[in-house]
Amino acid sequence: MDELEACGHEVSTKRELGIKGFSDGMSYNAVRPDYPGEAMAFFASTFGLDGTVRALDLGAGSGIFTRQIRDLVGEVVAVDPSASMREAFAASTPDVEILEGSDIAIPLDDESVDVVFVAQAFHWFDVPAALEEIRRVLRPGGGLGLIWNERDESVPWVRALSLAMQWDRWQPYRVGRDFSGLLCAGPFRDVERVTFRHAQLLTKESLYQRVLTTSYISVMSETERTALMRDVAKVVEPLETARCCIWRFALETRSGGEYDFLACPRLSSLATPS
């Protein structure tokens, strides 16, 4: 999905979609999942996180990951290109500074952070330029931790939901994609990939909201979005219980050499109706 001209959307490139596709930060903050405690513990031990560490959360959005990492480090600074996400961040995470910036324009000095984290955003980045920019702000021996939540498409209704959401057509990345090759081609090495399970319970209402926070859906024309949501309802309404969704997670980790670590979770998914 490098060109989006067929999208009928208000954006024309994937990069623009990544920056403009998150225009309702408050809604995003309310319905998107957090990250598994095990993954946070993994990050803590892999990167030796403690009160001396200064971390950057790049593509921090509304602060879901930031609020989990802040207690594991001495200081965290957040960066995001979306004004709406930064507004939601400031409202929900007032004790952490959020700056305007992006993968290729991080508003921090050279060698000024020990670890860079990217939660659910690396697929928007302009690699390899982004990896060079991340390397610039990292102190020697610093690390990069990446994490995703992904849908578990082995669950039939979750697969059906993905199809109704037209994920196959507009996906910014393939669920389960291994980014190791990209990482190894840059200034990082010793990549490690780890998977954890995670779950998020959603009501039907919040599941609809979660679907609407999907980047390419949020920039669709009203007509297209209404048609898509009708298809989504055909999957969601027959689910028997209000508490119908569980997200499972996978985390992927890379660690390595001079900049000795990348932790990339990758996610699993929405799971079973209970």
Ligand X SMILES: C[S@@+](CC[C@H](N)C(=O)[O-])C[C@H]1O[C@@H](n2cnc3c(N)ncnc32)[C@H](O)[C@@H]1O
User: Which two structure tokens, joined as six digits, stand for 25?
Assistant: 């930060």
User: Which two structure tokens, joined as six digits, stand for 37?
Assistant: 């405690």
19 forms part of the interface with ligand X (CB under 6 A):
yes
32 forms part of the interface with ligand X (CB under 6 A):
yes
Q: Residue of minimal CB distance from ligand X? A: 61
Beta bridge partners of 270: 247
Cα distances (angstroms) measured from residue 25 to each of 88, 193, 207, 245: 5, 29, 16, 21
125 forms part of the interface with ligand X (CB under 6 A):
yes
For residue 217, give the 3-state DSSP assignment. helix
Q: CB nearer to ligand X: give 4 or 121.
A: 121
Q: CB nearer to ligand X: give 80 or 153.
A: 80
- State how far the Cα of 190 lies from the Cα of 72, in Å rounded to an integer: 23
- State how far the Cα of 151 lies from the Cα of 37, in Å rounded to an integer: 18
Q: What single letter denotes the amino acid at residue 245?
A: C
Q: CB nearer to ligand X: give 92 or 272.
A: 92
Site for ligand X in 53-112 (CB under 6 A): 58-61, 64-65, 80-82, 85, 102-103
CB of 156 to ligand X, least distance (A): 25
Q: CB nearer to ligand X: give 65 or 179.
A: 65
269 forms part of the interface with ligand X (CB under 6 A):
no
CA angle 181, 185, 186 (to 5 degrees): 125
Contact residues toward ligand X (CB under 6 A) are 18-19, 22, 32, 58-61, 64-65, 80-82, 85, 102-103, 119-121, 124-125
